[in-house]
A = this chain, B = another copy of it.
Amino acid sequence: MDLLIEPLSAAAFAPFGQVIEVSDMARHFTINAGFAERYHDLARVDVASAGGRPQISIFRARPRSLPMALILLERHPLGSQAFMPLSQLPYLVVVAPPADASRPDLARLRCFAAGPGQGVNYAAGTWHHPLLALQAECDFLVVDRGGAASDHNCDEFALDGLDLWLAVGPNTPESFSSQSVA
C-alpha cells in the first residue's frame, strides 16, 4: 500500500501535536526595542510526568531514499518530543492516531512533508516514525523528556511485512517532489 505525502500544516497536524513555525496564526509581539519579533509559546512541552525534566539535544540524521518502506512506529508515553530542523532541507513526518491503548490505527496513518522553517512537536504518546531526513545529512534541535533510565518511555510497533510505502501523490507539494524524489 502507498502512503501519499501531503503538505504539513498546523490544522492537519493538530491531532498529533503542534507545528513549530513563524506564522501570523501564533501570538507574536515585538521585543528588544524593535530588533526582534517573538512568536510565542509555539509548542506544548509536556515532559514533567513521572519526575521528568526538559532536555535539549541535537539529532544528526542520515538521509533516507525514496521510495522507502516503513519499518516501525514508536511513541513516548511520558513526554512530548519536539524536532526543529537546523537546515532548510525537507524531511518527512509520519504519524498515526491510536487504534486502542497499545496499537496505532494504521488505516489513518499520515505522511507530511515539512517545508523550510517547519518543526513539529509530537504530543506525549503520539505514534510516529523515527526521523526521516532526505537528500543529505542534517541536524535537528530536539526538546524532549529526560528521566530515569528505568522509566518506560518508548513503545515500538513493527510495520515490516505490511508493505507500506511512502509515495508522491496528488497533494504532495510540488517543491518537495522536484527536490526530493529521485
Binding site for B on A (CB under 8 A): 20-22, 31-43, 45, 47-48, 53-62, 64, 71, 82, 84-86, 117, 119, 121, 130-131, 133, 139, 141-143, 146
Tell me the interface secondary structure of chain A in the complex.
strand
CA distance in complex: A141, B53 (Å): 19
Closest B residue, CB atoms, query A22: B58
Known contacts A36-B130, A54-B54, A56-B121; can you find 9 more A-B pairs with CB under 8 A?
A: A20-B58, A20-B141, A33-B71, A35-B64, A39-B60, A43-B55, A56-B143, A84-B84, A84-B86
CA distance in complex: A86, B89 (Å): 12
A45-B54, A86-B117, A139-B22 given; A62·B36 CB < 8 A: yes
Whether B146 and A143, one on each chain, are in contact in the complex, defined by CB atoms closer than 8 angstroms, is no
Residues of B within 8 A of A34 (CB): 62
CA distance in complex: A177, B121 (Å): 37
- What are 20 A-B interface contacts by the 8 Å CB criterion? A20-B56, A21-B58, A31-B59, A32-B130, A35-B62, A35-B131, A36-B59, A36-B60, A36-B61, A36-B62, A36-B130, A38-B57, A38-B58, A38-B59, A40-B57, A41-B55, A41-B57, A56-B121, A56-B143, A141-B141
Interface centre among A33, A57, A130, A131 (most CB of B within 10 A): A57
CA distance in complex: A87, B40 (Å): 19
Q: Which residue from B35, B48, B58 sits with its C-beta under 8 Å from A42?
A: B58
